[in-house]
Amino acid sequence: MLKGLILACAGFALFLIIHVPLFRLQLSEFRFRTMVRLALVLGVLLLTVHRATPSDLWVLPSAYTRAGWAIDLLNGLMVFTFLFVGYSMFYFLIDRGFSGRIMIEIEASPLRRLRPDEIAARYSLEMVLQRRLNELLGIGRITAINGRYCNTSKGRWSAVMFAFVKKFLQLGEGG
Amino acid sequence: MRGLLAGILAFGMYFLVQAVVFHSVQVSRRALVLAGLWLGGLPVYVWFYTWLPDDRSVWPAPLVAPSDVTTLFSGGLLYFFLFMGYAQFFYMAESSVGVRTMIELASEPEKGLTLEELTKRYHYDWMLDRRLRRLVHAGYLIEEMGYYRTTARGRLAAAVLKWCKRLLRLGPGG
Residue A28's pLDDT is 62
Is the pLDDT at A6 greater than 70, yes or no?
A: yes
Residue A27's pLDDT is 62
- ipTM value of the model? 0.78
Distance from CA of A27 to the nearest CA of B (A): 9
Question: What is the share, in percent, of chain B residues with pLDDT greater than 90?
Answer: 56
Mean pLDDT over the full length of chain A: 89
DSSP classification of residue B153 = H
* Segment holding A72, helix H or strand E: helix A69-96
Give the model confidence (pLDDT) of B103-160 as tens digits: 999 988 888 899 888 888 888 888 888 899 989 999 999 999 999 999 999 999 999 9
Distance from CA of B81 to the nearest CA of A (A): 6
Chain-centroid distance, C-alpha B68: 30
Q: Which residues in chain B have their CB less than 8 angstroms from residue A162's CB?
A: 92-93, 99, 102-103
Are B173 and A160 in contact (CB < 8 Å)?
no
From CA B55, how far away is CA B108, in angstroms rounded?
A: 54
Residue A149's pLDDT is 94
Distance from CA of A29 to the nearest CA of B (A): 9
* Segment holding B144, helix H or strand E: strand B141-144
- Start-to-end C-alpha separation, chain B: 42
Mean pLDDT over the full length of chain B: 90
Listed in sequence order, the DSSP H helices in chain B are: 2-24, 30-40, 42-51, 69-95, 97-106, 115-121, 124-137, 152-167
Is the pLDDT at A14 greater than 90, yes or no?
A: yes
| Model confidence band, residue B174 (pLDDT cutoffs 50, 70, 90) | low
The architecture (CATH level 2) of A100-168 comes to Orthogonal Bundle (1.10)
Residue A97's pLDDT is 85
What amino acid is encoded at B32 in this protein?
L
Residues B115/A147, Cβ–Cβ less than 8 Å? yes
From CA A42, how far away is CA A38, in angstroms rounded?
A: 6
Give the model confidence (pLDDT) of A44-90 as tens digits: 999 999 999 988 888 888 877 888 889 999 989 999 999 999 999 88
Are A169 and B162 in contact (CB < 8 Å)?
no
State the pTM of this model: 0.81
Q: Where in chain A is CATH 1.10.10?
A: 100-168
Q: Which residues in chain A have their CB less than 8 angstroms from residue B173's CB?
A: 94-97, 100-101
